[in-house]
Amino acid sequence: MTTGSITTFVVLVIVIFVAIGVMIWWALRSNAKQKQGKVCAQKAQSQMAMMFLILGIANAGLAFGEMVNIRGEIEQQLPIEMIVWTLGAMVFFGKGIMMLSKPVRETDCVHAYEYDSTRCGRCGYDVEHIESKACPECGWEMKRSDEVRIESDMVWRFWKGWRIDYLEPSTVKDFWLGTFLLFLFFIILIVLIFAQYLLYKDKGMDYAYYIPLFAIPLIVMTTVSFQVLQAVRVWQYGKRVAQGMV
């Protein structure tokens, strides 16, 4: 590679690393706020949906850029990275649309109302001076529940401590399903990257082909590492429940 190509490659890698870091920080912050009930359930779900849609747009843009790069070469086999970006866009778009269309969880609404009873737990409407038990904006029946406990700010931050002191059954179920789907996606990704390596190992690769090889595994490995840490904590929580310690 030329000096200009190396500089471009380094700049792109740095930008990707920073973007990934910001996205992970924002996701953790949003998740912590939702678990504490600091954000109304509808807004929290919309924020997560928006994050997935943004990731979908980013993947679609990369796929489009690769398509423009190979325009006119109809007989050339589609690059693996273009297929990966396209599949990624479909997955993120699908997840974002699903989150926008599915109803808000009742538990999240109660969490938000427990944290701030002056606002509706579902839509965040100001209900401080409303005598009715139902929100006039969205119709949600405002209620408290002695069985719902708001998690502390430190619960989902694994660098602050390993133990989880409280999890709802639905949260545990969703967590293990998400873990299974994540590892399935990770296996598919490894197969695609290995296939790309086999296709290009004898042809030489331009620096542009290295970008997805750095970016995609980094995103997935960071997510997998976080998921593994959480899996250990959920397993520890399950043991304490079985022993009657929680």
Note the pLDDT tens digit of each residue in 136-191. 888 888 776 655 555 554 445 545 455 565 565 555 666 666 666 666 766 776 67
The pTM of the whole model exceeds 0.95? no
Distance, first Cα to last Cα, the chain = 59
Contacts of 135 (CB under 8 A, 6+ apart): 120, 122, 123, 125, 127, 141, 142
Contact criterion met (CB below 8 Å) for 86 and 126: no
pLDDT mean across residues, the chain = 70
Q: State residue 135's pLDDT score.
A: 87
Q: State residue 204's pLDDT score.
A: 58
Rounded CA gap, 167 and 151, in Å? 8
Rounded CA gap, 157 and 28, in Å? 8
Note the pLDDT tens digit of each residue in 11-63. 666 766 676 667 767 766 776 666 666 677 788 888 888 888 888 888 788 77
